Chain A
Amino acid sequence: MKFGVVIFPGSNCDYDTFYVLKEVLGQPTVFLWHKDHDLQGVNCVVLPGGFSYGDYLRSGAIARFSPLMQEIVEFAHKGGLVLGICNGFQILLEVGLLEGAMLRNKNLKFLCQHVWVRVENNQTPFTWQAKVGQILKIPIAHFDGNYYAPAETLEKLKTKRQIIFRYCTESGEINEEANVNGSLENIAGISNDAGNVLGLMPHPERASERLLNSTDGLVIFQSILDYWQRQ
């Protein structure tokens, strides 16, 4: 399975993500440059974390207009797998592949810490190998992760089971205390209606090796690989 990691000016988790896909997951992986129009035949596009265009205007607001993003939108509409991590999630919201928007964290702090998220739906290519209710310990690092969506969108996300990850306590409780950034419904990650596009604020690429204190993020990458191999 071939992965592509997109580089925007200001991406800073691109090499970490590339390393996990290539060295830990052991799959052919290429970098994709934001100014190109070529997806190089990849089977899954990963938009990494960082601060594309310095987060100017709004997080992800400038990156969404890059030439490669137009290709990625088309790729996603054809059913291609697209994963957005942190800033990648913000870009997917801005470009409209995912619904909703990000507000500044409720406490106005840049949050850089380990959190726990609960898997709410494992019937997606990204959570295929996880169990519903499984608790993953994965770090976050963001300023704008306070997920917001209008009431009708939120209702649709619930009905169609598009809420994939929610912030929880270490024991898996969904409450206000665990909701570090103030997101509606403790939302940490959502998918599109078709299930082939996922965005999440936590950084699974920073939790894919024992050396880094958690391997809980690896299940996301392994799910993608396993899902693709079964197709």
Chain B
Amino acid sequence: MKVRILVNLKNGVLDPQGQTVRHALHVLGYHQVKDVRQGKVFELELEGLDRQSAARLIPEIADRVLANPIIESFSWDFLEEA
């Protein structure tokens, strides 16, 4: 079983990297890009548990380790069934 976790800076938290990417896109002429927020992607392969247990475990892992709740929020999804 695989899950994908997205970690992003919370709204309102300055994202210097996202701003720089946006600036670069504007320099290249992509003025349609209004804003860029840069985040992280984690793909976890899990074993020995069902979807329900996974649904409890993933938020715990994301909140405790993968994201820093002070500045970041996360979302996640199952990728495929094993």
Contacts and interface: CB of A to CB of B under 8 A. Distances in A.
A148 B70 contact: yes
A150 B17 CA distance: 20
Interface of B: 9, 13-17, 20, 65-66, 68, 70-71
Contacts of A117: none
Contact of A105 (B9, B15, B16, B66): B16
Interface of A is mostly: loop
B17 A104 contact: yes
Contacts of B16: 103-108, 146, 182
A32 interface: no
Contacts of A61: 65, 68
Interface in A142-187: 146, 148-150, 182
B71 A101 contact: yes
Interface residues of A, number: 18
A146 B16 CA distance: 10
A2 interface: no
A94 B17 contact: no
25 contacts: A57-B66, A61-B68, A94-B68, A100-B70, A101-B70, A103-B13, A103-B14, A103-B16, A103-B71, A104-B16, A104-B17, A105-B16, A106-B16, A107-B16, A108-B16, A108-B17, A108-B20, A146-B14, A146-B16, A148-B13, A148-B70, A148-B71, A150-B70, A182-B14, A182-B16
A116 B59 CA distance: 42
A22 interface: no
Contacts of B20: 108
Contact of A106 (B13, B14, B68): B14
Interface of A: 57-58, 61, 65, 94, 100-101, 103-108, 146, 148-150, 182
Q: Which 8 A-B pairs have the closest CB atoms?
A: A101-B70, A101-B71, A104-B16, A106-B16, A108-B16, A101-B68, A108-B20, A58-B68
Contacts of B13: 103, 148
Given A58-B68, A146-B16, A148-B14, 20 more contacts: A57-B65, A57-B66, A61-B65, A61-B68, A65-B65, A94-B68, A101-B70, A101-B71, A103-B9, A103-B13, A103-B14, A103-B16, A104-B17, A105-B16, A106-B16, A108-B17, A108-B20, A146-B14, A148-B70, A182-B14
Contact of B70 (A104, A107, A146, A149): A149
A106 B15 CA distance: 8
